[in-house]
Amino acid sequence: MNEPQTPREWLLFALQEYEIRIVADHGKLLEIEKGYVIEIEQNGVFKLLSGAAVVAPFVDLEELCQFIKMS
């Protein structure tokens, strides 16, 4: 497999590694398990959303995935 290049590719790779299920893929928005949505911003920030509220912005994908797994 080629190494991920874009923030989206890195996010998909990280979600797979942490076995976090994607419920729906809307391009820059990914609906994932536990009712969360991840918004991919162009600046490499990943916003974790619950409902319409921002839970937290993440730059570190490992930190994001660990947060999701622990919640």
pTM above 0.85, yes or no: yes
What's the rounded Cα separation, in Å, for the pair 35 and 56? Answer: 15
Task: Kindly report, residue by residue over 9-35, the tens digit of the pLDDT.
Answer: 999 999 999 999 999 999 999 999 999
CA angle 34, 23, 26 (to 5 degrees): 120
Q: Is position 54 within any domain?
A: yes
pLDDT of 33 reads 95
pLDDT of 4 reads 87
Q: Is position 2 within any domain?
A: no
Task: Kindly report, residue by residue over 30-66, the tens digit of the pLDDT.
Answer: 999 999 999 999 888 999 999 889 999 999 999 999 9
What's the rounded Cα separation, in Å, for the pair 32 and 37? Answer: 6
Q: Is position 53 within any domain?
A: yes
Domain count, the chain: 1
What's the rounded Cα separation, in Å, for the pair 58 and 64? Answer: 6
Q: Is position 62 within any domain?
A: yes
What's the rounded Cα separation, in Å, for the pair 4 and 26? Answer: 19
